[in-house]
A and B are shown apart, each in its own frame.
Chain A
Amino acid sequence: MIPVIGLIVGIAIGVFLQPDVPLGLQPYLPIAVIAALDAVFGAVRAVLDGIFNDKVFVISFLSNVVVAAFIVFLGDKLGVGSQLSTGVVVVLGVRIFSNVASIRRHLFHA
């Protein structure tokens, strides 16, 4: 319950304050969102598996976001930014899919 309330509070803060993201960081926002989603679904699965650990979740979330953004930044500098973005999205997307499939097995036993 506490995480859901925290999530709603965070969304409310973002919607009402509408903070300005620096222009240089804007290209990394979609990647950061996907990396965060990956961490969230991994955490949900861990909760259902009964092995959730908040420290692991925080570290995996931060490292996911930072590494994904760094890969895209590196790709931009090397001139292959769009290709590396695609790669990151594919990897994280596959992970999200299989985590969601595992969650579904837990919840619906199907």
Chain B
Amino acid sequence: MTLIREMMERPLDPGYAAEAARREGTGLPPSTGLRSPRLAVMAVVLGLLFSVAAVTLNRDLPALASTRATLIRQITAERTSADRRSVQIGTLQSEVSAAEARHGEDLAGQLAGLEAATGALAVTGPGLVITLDDAPGAGGTDADGNPRTNAATAGGTVQSRDIQIITNALWQAGAEAVMVNGQRLSARSAIRFAGDAILVNFRPLNRPYVVSAIGDPASLPADFAASTGGSYLEALGSNFGIKVDTTSKKSVTMPAATALTTSDAQPVQPAQASATSTSPSTPTSTPTSTPQGDSP
């Protein structure tokens, strides 16, 4: 409070009064007047201070204003573009729904079904899992490195032909998707022999060989067992000692097949082709049924 009263009631520097009193004491007039050179210099300094301050503090204003204007312009432009985009979204969405109405509601379902049938889509479902492994003692190679030169062990190893016969029998028994050791079979799959190894989709497999098939759980195992594949599997086990294990599973999950893209094969009349192939036929003719030149 004292501070505020002091500030309010005595704004004038007390030095003026003191100096005036001292000058009066010595007989001089209390005021020095305005003609002293010291005051002139001081006035120049004051004017300089004011003008420099004004110039300096106003110098940045145009730059700031232009930056601000640029930002506002950008905001407006982006906002109008966003508005335009949302209008576009609306028209595109209505176009999409119109196209959907034109082509029938189940187009997406058809696409998913086709992709699942051709192997382009990962699938899951009930199925059959057949595990094959070499006969005990047959896994090693002979001294000369070729398992087939030894008659005793020649039949004890699983060969690509075995896998081919089993997969063909599975397709025959109504399997909708087949996978060998994680390699989904598609229209471009091949089961081959390369030296010692079995190749599926050009990937070498390691034993044991697990052939999985998705199909009707009521009919697939029985149909497979009744087919030539079933008896072939039995013969493999009883005659050559190959370990065979067949189990029905409630859920088998298969990944999408790799490398399904075609570069040379062009669709014939896309519109007509898509119209005629809407119902995926049972995949009876797969490349796996054609024997590759790999029989030992």
Q: Which residues of A contact B (CB under 8 A)?
A: 1-15, 18-19, 21, 26, 29-30, 32-33, 36, 40, 42, 45-47, 49-61, 91, 94-95, 98-99, 102
Sample of 19 A–B contacts (CB below 8 Å): A2-B35, A4-B43, A6-B42, A6-B44, A6-B47, A7-B46, A10-B46, A14-B48, A15-B51, A21-B56, A26-B57, A46-B16, A49-B12, A49-B16, A51-B17, A51-B20, A53-B23, A55-B32, A58-B42
Determine whether the beta carbon of B15 is less than 8 Å from that of A59. Answer: yes
Determine whether the beta carbon of A2 is less than 8 Å from that of B46. Answer: no
Within 8 A of A (CB), among B20-56: 20, 23, 30-36, 38-56
User: Residues of A contacting B34 with CB < 8 Å?
Assistant: 1-3, 47, 52
A60 and B13 in contact (CB under 8 A), knowing A13-B51, A47-B34?
Answer: yes
**Which residue of A1, A47, A56, A102 contacts B11 across the interface (Cβ within 8 Å)?**
A102
* Least CB distance, B58 to chain A, in whole angstroms: 11
- Beyond the given A8-B47, A29-B52, A52-B32, please list 15 additional residue pairs across the A-B interface where CB-CB is below 8 A: A1-B34, A3-B39, A5-B43, A6-B40, A7-B43, A7-B47, A12-B47, A13-B44, A14-B51, A19-B52, A33-B50, A45-B11, A46-B31, A55-B38, A99-B11
How far is A4 from B57 in the complex, measured between Cα atoms in Å? Answer: 24
Determine whether the beta carbon of A30 is less than 8 Å from that of B57. Answer: yes
Q: Which residues of B contact A (CB under 8 A)?
A: 7-9, 11-13, 15-17, 19-20, 23, 30-36, 38-57
- Contact residues of A: prevailing secondary structure: helix
How far is A49 from B12 in the complex, measured between Cα atoms in Å? Answer: 10
User: Residues of A contacting B52 with CB < 8 Å?
Assistant: 14, 19, 21, 29
User: Residues of B contacting A10 with CB < 8 Å?
Assistant: 43-51
- Smallest CB-CB separation from A45: which chain B residue? B12
* Least CB distance, B85 to chain A, in whole angstroms: 43
**Which residue of A1, A29, A45, A94 contacts B57 across the interface (Cβ within 8 Å)?**
A29
Determine whether the beta carbon of B30 is less than 8 Å from that of A50. Answer: yes
* Least CB distance, B199 to chain A, in whole angstroms: 73
A60 and B15 in contact (CB under 8 A), knowing A3-B43, A29-B53, A54-B36?
Answer: yes
Quick one: which of A3, A12, A42, A53 has the most chain B CB within 10 A?
A53
How far is A14 from B59 in the complex, measured between Cα atoms in Å? Answer: 13
Quick one: which of A9, A13, A49, A54 has the most chain B CB within 10 A?
A54
Determine whether the beta carbon of B30 is less than 8 Å from that of A51. Answer: yes
A9 and B15 in contact (CB under 8 A), knowing A3-B34, A3-B39?
Answer: no
User: Residues of A contacting B13 with CB < 8 Å?
Assistant: 42, 46, 56, 60
Closest 5 CB pairs of A and B: A10-B47, A14-B51, A6-B43, A51-B20, A98-B11
User: Residues of A contacting B33 with CB < 8 Å?
Assistant: 52
Determine whether the beta carbon of A33 is less than 8 Å from that of B16. Answer: no
Determine whether the beta carbon of B19 is less than 8 Å from that of A55. Answer: yes
A30 and B53 in contact (CB under 8 A), knowing A50-B31, A60-B15, A95-B11?
Answer: yes
* Least CB distance, B91 to chain A, in whole angstroms: 52
* Least CB distance, A96 to chain B, in whole angstroms: 8
Determine whether the beta carbon of A56 is less than 8 Å from that of B43. Answer: no
Determine whether the beta carbon of B56 is less than 8 Å from that of A26. Answer: yes
Determine whether the beta carbon of A42 is less than 8 Å from that of B7. Answer: no
How far is A61 from B20 in the complex, measured between Cα atoms in Å? Answer: 18
Quick one: which of A5, A14, A18, A94 has the most chain B CB within 10 A?
A14
User: Residues of A contacting B51 with CB < 8 Å?
Assistant: 10-15
Determine whether the beta carbon of A18 is less than 8 Å from that of B42. Answer: no
User: Residues of A contacting B31 with CB < 8 Å?
Assistant: 46-47, 50-53
How far is A47 from B54 in the complex, measured between Cα atoms in Å? Answer: 27
User: Residues of B contacting A57 with CB < 8 Å?
Assistant: 39, 42
How far is A95 from B44 in the complex, measured between Cα atoms in Å? Answer: 23
